[in-house]
Structure 1
Amino acid sequence: MNRMIALWAHPRSRSTALERVFIERGDFEVFHEPFASVAFDERSAIPHDDLNCGLPRTYEGVKALLRSTRQRRHVFHKDMCYHCPDELGADAEFLLEQQHVFIIRETARSIVSHFAMFEQMPMDAIGHRALYDIFCRVTKITGKIPYVVNGDDLAKRPEHTVRKLCDHLQLEFLPHALSWEPSCPPQWMAWRSWHRAAERSSGIVASPDTFDDLPLQTHPHLMAYYRIHRPFYERMNQFVQQEPS
């Protein structure tokens, strides 16, 4: 039977870079945030491009699309748990059909990156709490701790990180999938404005070591977001499956 791999993320976690690796592999049908079509529409405040991209607008419709695609190809989908937390949490059957990977990034960096894209972001959209809730749900129903990638590790050591992930998923590591021609894959068109840097990239690269936390210091609500979500990052980060360099 074909496989379904879910990459669960929070915004600005470098999940799109890891998704691009699976696009370049060529052996998966890749879906980019299909459940976002359930959470948002053209009237939503979140920056978007063309949301009329043919994806279903209901949770059950997206699930049916992923299942039907799996009948003919391996499926990889990347999404944010906060798009449909109640539905996912109550759908053990669907969760059990997949191999789960969770990706996290240090909370301050992800919040500042998110704020640069969308200053009106609500607290729930930071995403760490919803991600942790589904992480715990998957752990409970499978009896196993899911695989966790730290996005900063991915950026600093992409080959090492992707090799380890492939080993875990029992996939062949394909070196060619770590580089590509700058372009916008069709999967990204609905949310293209969020992925301009990824679109211009030709591979996964690390951010500068310096980090400007001024937005956190000058916007009290961002610091409140940080304090609420940081504990969930810390809980998940202890399960990151990386070896010392």
Structure 2
Amino acid sequence: MKIAVWSGPRNLSTALMYSFANRADFTVMDEPFYAPYSAATGLEHPMSDAIQAAHQTDPEQVAMACENGGEQSHKYMKHMPHHMLDRFPLDWAKDCVNIHLIRHPARVIASYVAKRENPTLEDLGYLQQTALFNTVGGIVIDSADIRQDPENALKNLCQQIKLPFNSAMLNWPAGPRPYDGIWASHWYNAVHQSTGFVGAEGPLPHLEGAAADLLDAALPYYEKLKWFQ
């Protein structure tokens, strides 16, 4: 089985990748289209030069790697929809179980601005994820449900994709992983300190100014995806 998990940044996506990677029957890939996206757009992101130097920047080569199987029985790929530019190959996703991980944009924005200033709607991926869902379909899951009750949420997910649940998915060792993208040193600090999914989140953060305007722009896309859950 090949699983493609699509989510914007700050969506619990790295923790979910660690969850599946802790199974002995999975190989994982961490955002393989990040470097091609960075090279093609020239956008200023943290560690852009290092990302392009350390990872494959040819989208055709990355697509071929996504098509191939992994060393284990199953393959888990963490992807961000805004990395998939229109000219990048997407046919490989037709052979995958496509899972769309979402999180309320108020929480995403509050978390994102702590790592990178002045994000745009395109940076958050909601618009692109909605378009991608319309193209490849798949299953929609909300990170809030995983944090609320990790075991039941993961059992339900495994049932939907016809994969036996494995309790190893509930915990993992602290620290970085050899399959982390080079960007992990900037973005993965919190998850590197974790050994499992943390508890339910509190009230939604209050946003003001440009952040509140960004929330207003992102919320309809989140709500549309949420409807398909």
Paired residues, what number?
A: 225
Structure 1 residues 10 and 147: alpha-carbon distance in aligned structure 2, compared to 1, 3 A threshold: same
Is the Cα contact below 8 Å between 1:107 and 1:233 reproduced in 2? yes
| CA offsets 1:92-124 (integer angstroms, 9 cap, x no match) | x32211110000000111111111111132331
> Is 1:237 aligned to 2:226, yes or no?
yes
Report percent identity of matched pairs: 26
TM normalised by structure 2 equals 0.90
> Is 1:196 aligned to 2:189, yes or no?
yes
Structure 1 residues 189 and 57: alpha-carbon distance in aligned structure 2, compared to 1, 3 A threshold: closer
2:199 partner letter: A
Deviation at 1:207, TM superposition (A): 4.9
Write 1 or 2 for the structure with the bigger share of helix.
1
* Correspondence list, 1:154-165, <5 A: 154-165=146-157
Is the Cα contact below 8 Å between 1:104 and 1:148 reproduced in 2? yes
Structure 1 residues 162 and 72: alpha-carbon distance in aligned structure 2, compared to 1, 3 A threshold: closer
Distance 2:225 2:80 in 1: 15
Corresponding residue number in structure 2 for 1:83:
83
1:83 partner letter: H
Distance 1:165 1:114 in 2: 26
Distance 2:200 2:116 in 1: 20
Is the Cα contact below 8 Å between 1:4 and 1:76 reproduced in 2? yes
Deviation at 1:151, TM superposition (A): 0.6
> Is 1:209 aligned to 2:207, yes or no?
no
Structure 1, unmatched stretches of 5+, are 140-145, 241-245
Is the Cα contact below 8 Å between 1:85 and 1:134 reproduced in 2? no
Distance 1:114 1:195 in 2: 12
Structure 2, unmatched stretches of 5+, are none
Corresponding residue number in structure 2 for 1:61:
61
Is the Cα contact below 8 Å between 2:2 and 2:69 reproduced in 1? no
Distance 2:55 2:218 in 1: 30
1:205 partner letter: V
Deviation at 1:137, TM superposition (A): 0.8
Where 1:31 maps in the other structure, the secondary structure is strand
2:121 partner letter: M
Task: Say what the alpha-carbon RMSD is for the aligned residues.
Answer: 2.1
Is the Cα contact below 8 Å between 2:36 and 2:52 reproduced in 1? no
2:198 partner letter: V
Deviation at 1:12, TM superposition (A): 0.8
Q: Which deviates more, 188-197 or 226-235? A: 188-197
| CA offsets 1:120-154 (integer angstroms, 9 cap, x no match) | 32331011110010001113xxxxxx211101111
* Correspondence list, 1:61-140, <5 A: 61-70=61-70, 73-87=73-87, 91=90, 93-139=91-137
Deviation at 1:76, TM superposition (A): 1.1
Structure 1 residues 81 and 87: alpha-carbon distance in aligned structure 2, compared to 1, 3 A threshold: farther
Distance 1:81 1:161 in 2: 23
Corresponding residue number in structure 1 for 2:32:
34
Distance 2:131 2:159 in 1: 26
| CA offsets 1:56-97 (integer angstroms, 9 cap, x no match) | 212111111122344875321011110124146x73x32211
1:125 partner letter: D
Structure 1 residues 87 and 168: alpha-carbon distance in aligned structure 2, compared to 1, 3 A threshold: farther
TM normalised by structure 1 equals 0.84
Structure 1 residues 85 and 186: alpha-carbon distance in aligned structure 2, compared to 1, 3 A threshold: same
Distance 1:68 1:224 in 2: 41
Corresponding residue number in structure 1 for 2:142:
150
